[in-house]
Amino acid sequence: MERLIVEERLNVEILDISKDRGLVKELLHIGDKRQIPCLDIDGKALYESKAIMAWLMDNLDQLK
């Protein structure tokens, strides 16, 4: 997933909750889960890696 984001130069911010504990609150606010990976799509959480990859692929043009 991160490889796709970097290689395609997508405008997607990658956050590491292990480096910023305040992000855990943000993660819980988005989807009430501590589960990662999590893609925030306009305030709606998408969790499963395959689903996130599919969404990224479907929206490549919008994210460049």
Beta-bridge partners for 46:
39
For residues 6-33, average pLDDT:
93
Domain that residue 10 falls in: 2-63
Q: Give the CATH number for residue 11.
A: 3.40.30.10
pLDDT (tens digit per residue) in 38-54: 999 999 999 999 999 99
Give how many domains the chain has, as a whole number.
1
DSSP string, the chain: -HHHHHHTT-------TTT-THHHHHHHHHHS---SS-EEETTEEE--HHHHHHHHHHTHHHH-
Q: Is residue 21 very low, low, confident or very high in pLDDT (cuts 50, 70, 90)?
A: confident
Arithmetic mean of pLDDT over the chain:
95
